[in-house]
Amino acid sequence: MTYRHPITECIETQLQRYLEDLKGTPPSGIYGMVLAAVEKPMLQLVMQHAKQNQSLAAQYLGINRNTLHKKLVEHQLLK
C-alpha cells in the first residue's frame, strides 16, 4: 500500500469537488488558482514559525531567500 500525504488527499478532494461544481463548464486557470490557494497560507505559517526571519524561512522551504522575498511581496505579506 502506498502512503498518501493528507495534504495531497485534501487538495485532490477539493479539486474534484471544484471540477464537479462546474457541471461541465470547461475549467480555466486551475494551476494558478491552486498555487495561490496553497502558497500564501504556507508562506504565512512558515514565516510565523521562523519568527519572520526570511533566511530561516527560506531554508525551511528549500528555496533561495531572494525567491522567498519575491513571493512575500507578490502575496503582500511584508509589512
Angle at CA of residue 4, ends 59 and 20, nearest 5°: 105
Question: Residue 79 to residues 25, 69, 72, 76: CA-CA distances in angstroms?
Answer: 39, 12, 10, 8
C-alpha distances out from residue 44 to 5, 62, 64, Å: 21, 15, 17
pLDDT tens track of the chain, all 79 residues? 677 888 999 999 999 999 999 999 999 999 999 998 899 999 999 999 999 999 999 999 999 999 999 999 999 999 7
Distances (CA, A) of 51 to 47, 54, 55, 61, 67: 6, 9, 11, 14, 18
pTM exceeding the 0.95 threshold for the entire prediction: no
Residue-level pLDDT at 3: 79
